Structure 1
Amino acid sequence: MALLFDYDSVKYSPNNALALAYCAKWAYLDAPLAQAEVSKQLQTNKFQFVNIQSSGTQAFVAGDSHKIIVSFRGTEPSKLQDILSDIRLMQVYHALGNVHGGFIRSLDAAWREIFTIIRQFQDNNQTIWFTGHSLGAALATLGVAKMLEFSYPVSGLYNFGQPRVGDKKFAESMNKEMAKRYFRFVNNNDVVPRVPLRTIGYADCGYFLYFDKAKILYDDLSIWTRLLDNFHGRLEALGEKGTDGINDHNMDAYIAGISKNMDKLVK
């Protein structure tokens, strides 16, 4: 059965959360397979894959007469540990605030091509949506920031396992400009949303949505309740292959969480 998409939604939509979570997953596929999935499940008739070999930046843009979706590929699971231990921390200037230098360089390498495709696809005033998982979520956030910088409207940003992208000013700017249109999902002990550290000048942004170890979705979870749930999640993961923080980063875990909470309404 095809996925539903509320293309004119002005608030959180479980249908859009699930559809964009799948788009974040499909961004890891080769272009023909990604196109087949998107066109089948979301009835899109426009598709273009972007692959910048020099920077390793990959994304697809898909669309139809109602919507345009931009989905960035994230960190390959086999390389995640290397990324966490060798992340570039230097911030650089952006109009909305300072941002992670490595992330913005990756986006800049592909942005002209991506933005050109968006403009080519937008022939019916379609709504525009961004998504990504892991590094892809960081690039999606910066892509939306680029759109905002030039007053180009974005209807929604749904991110999964997103690392921190910029400083407090950047976070405040994004939260103001994308209020209740930018949703940041974190699955239990997922380690990636905890880097880069706040202590070196990074801040969280987006409307925080959290899955506990039982995949129950919360949008008003206190920090102490979350820490306790993290602890229980780590206890249950003892003896499992890999670490809980890495396992919880898996995109399939996010899809499972959203699927379990399709009746959940956020504030």
Structure 2
Amino acid sequence: MRLEQFPSPGAAWLRATMLVCLLTLTACVGISGQELGLLGSTLSPNKVDFVELNAYAGRAKAAYAGEAAIRSRYPATVRVSAPGKTDAQYFLEQDDRAKVQYIAIRGTANRKNLLEDVEMRIREDLSLAIPVHIGFDATARVLYADMKPYLKKNYTTYITGHSLGGAIAALLAIHMTDDGYKVDKVVTFGQPKFTTARGVEKLGFLTLVRVVDENDIIPMLPPTTIVNRLYGIYEHAGPEIILLEGPRYVYLPKHDADRLSVGELGRSLDFADLKDHHIDNYLRRLSDKIAGAVEVTYNERERYVAKKEIAGN
């Protein structure tokens, strides 16, 4: 599917953003063949629990639903809210016996959310002392202020979100950790970048796992080739799990994908399809791996990429 076939209402904004991304690819230095061979040919010893990831994805999907549906599926929910003018919704569950709380945040649900996804402005967050994506951080702060009266500091916290909700989830975890909450894990799906390489250096405390679909371009935004004069390049934090077709997946201990394949964004533009970014697609890919998952190296992944027919061919 080519860019001109993107469905409304997101088409114009995605086309414009992708054009900028494609143009900036020429400015990227890339990675040497030696580095590619080293980073892209290694299997990770880390074990991936796809049953657990599927449970997180289920909550991320539920965050798109109405309050009644959320409370029906997750009876321990104590708060469902879309505060202020953010158009971002979250729900909070609490298990008083286990002393745990779960937060799930809705992703790109409308035109305003989509604009936040592709916005590239960044500033220094004085309280966090890291550069942050302006739109994502502003939304994270509004949600945090809304949920704070319901949070329990002595409970272990788990946070998830899809798309925009993933970026907000990561920033929320940073704010909560800074305030003394115990955030055990953050799992995101199709998450765009929210900070720069300088910020990533300071986020060693953040237990963030990012799950991305092989053909989803949103996690590549803003592109690494966008360089801020003060804050450097946008970069992902945390390990990355790339979902391929069937039982196969790639595990990158840290986000080397930008450096491993500079042309990946350009390649993906030919196959870009908003369906690849949909949370239902993530759930389908995860369910394919529950019975038995097979890890492949980054360099092998093209053998297992689901081929799509390109319009006009």
Fold shared by both chains (TM-score > 0.5): yes
Q: Label 1:79 to 1:259 Cα distance change in 2 as closer, same or farther (>3 A).
A: farther
Where do 5+ consecutive residues of structure 2 fail to align?
1-46, 228-232, 296-313
Q: Hey, what's the Cα distance between the residues in 2 that align with 1:195 and 1:233? A: 12
Q: 2:217, 2:265 within 8 Å by CA — same for their partners in 1?
A: no
How far did 1:226 drift?
A: 6.8
Structure 1 gaps of 5+ residues are 1-10, 40-44, 238-242
User: What residue identity is the alignment partner of 2:286?
Assistant: I
- C-alpha change, 1:204 and 1:81, in structure 2 (3 Å) is same
Task: Give the Å deviation of 1:88.
Answer: 4.6
Q: Pick one of 50, 56, 60 that aligns with 2:87.
A: 56
**Which among 153, 156, 165 is matched to residue 194 of structure 2?**
165
1:7 equivalent in structure 2: none
Give the secondary structure class of the aligned counterpart of 1:48: strand
Q: 1:103–1:89: structure 2 CA closer, same or farther, 3 Å change rule? A: same
Identity %: 22
8 Å CA contact 1:188–1:229 kept in 2: the answer is no
Q: CA deviation at 1:257?
A: 1.6
8 A Cα contact 1:216 1:257, kept in partner: no
Match of 2:149 among 100, 116, 119: 116
Residue identity in the other structure for 2:276 = D
**Greater C-alpha radius of gyration:** 2
Shift of 1:184: 0.1
**Which digits, 9 at most, give the CA deviation of each residue in 1:171-212, with x for residues without a partner?**
2222x103xx32101101211111112232211112110012
How many Å apart are 1:59 and its aligned residue? 0.6
Q: Deviations over 1:27-74 (max 9, x none)?
A: 0001111111123xxxxx342112213222311101212231101111
2:54 maps to 1:14: no
User: Which TM-score applies when normalising by structure 2?
Assistant: 0.66
Would you say how many aligned residue pairs link Structure 1 and Structure 2? 236
Moved more, 91-100 or 214-223: 214-223
Relative to structure 1, the CA distance from residue 232 to residue 167 in structure 2 (aligned partners, 3 Å threshold; closer, same or farther) is closer
The one-letter code matched in structure 1 to 2:106 is R
Cα distance in 2, alignment partners of residues 171 and 225 from structure 1:
18
Which structure is richer in relative contact order (CA contacts within 8 A, separation 6 or more)?
Answer: 2
Counterpart code for 1:101: I
* Partner residue of 1:30 out of 53, 66, 78: 66
State whether residues 77 and 91 of structure 2, in contact with CA within 8 Å, keep that contact through their aligned partners in structure 1. Answer: no
RMSD across aligned positions (CA): 3.0
- Decide which of 160, 172, 191 is 1:143's aligned counterpart: 172
Partner residue, 1:4: none
Could you say if the C-alpha distance between residues 30 and 208 of structure 1 is closer, same or farther in structure 2, counting changes exceeding 3 Å?
same
Alignment check: 8 A CA contact 1:89 1:196 kept: no
Whole-angstrom CA distance in 1 between matches of 2:130 and 2:215 = 28
AA matched with 1:188? E
In the aligned structure 2, how far is the partner of 1:24 from the partner of 1:77? 16
1:92-103 correspondence to structure 2 within 5 Å? 92-94=124-126, 95-103=128-136
- Normalised to the residue count of structure 1, the TM-score between the two structures is 0.77
